[in-house]
Each structure stands twice: as structure tokens, then as C-alpha cells.
Amino acid sequence: MKALILINDPPYGTERLYNGLRMAHALIKKDCEVTVFLMGDAVSGAKTGQKTPDGFYNAERMVKRAALKGNVLLCGTCMDARGISEEEVVKGAQRSTMDELADVTMAADKVLVF
């Protein structure tokens, strides 16, 4: 099965990115082909160098983990609007486009939105 997980919310302040990435990890463990598409403020979750308090989740580490066995795409327009360059994102996450999002949406068996 192919799943697309769209995440829109910022990495901190709500738990949508956290829960969307948790779902991605769970699906990957079940051998699902997962694509995570971060758009809007969610692209900040893929930025390197995040420092969070002990005991608090770290979005950067969660995105890295999803990118190891899944596909993590970032809205390029959203990156530009937030001043995030390709060099500043975690290894494995890729700048993407709405055209590519349309393609992975059409190829997905399930689409989940967070």
C-alpha cells in the first residue's frame, strides 16, 4: 500500500506534525510505502539544528527517521516564504513542488491530512 501524509501545522505549538510523523513511522513499520509532504509552517520541522528541552519531542529527529525509509518532500514555495534553503534541511528531505504533490496524491492508496 502507498500512503501520503500531508502535514500543514508548525513543528511546535500544536501536535499535528508530531502525530503525522508518528503515523508515518507506524506505517513504515508495517511495510507501507510512505510519502510525507510538509507544507506551510510544517516545512520548519525539517530544519536542521533544532534544540528542544530534555523530554520534549524533536521534530528534526522525527523527520530524519521518516526520511530513512520513507519519502519526505517539502513544499518549495513554503520553504522560500520562510527563508529556508535546501542546505538547511535534514538529510533525506527534498524540496518539492505542487506538481509532484499532485503526482504522489494520484499514486497514493490512502491520503492522510494533519
Confidence (pLDDT) at 59: 97
CA distances from 96 to 3, 28, 41, 43, 102 (A): 17, 21, 15, 11, 11
pLDDT along the chain (114 residues), means of 10: 98 96 98 98 97 94 96 98 97 97 98 98
Contact 43, 90 (CB under 8 A): no
pTM over 0.85, yes/no: yes
- The full set of domains in the chain, from first to last, is 2-49+57-113 (3.40.1260.10)
**Residue bearing cell 520534549:** 56
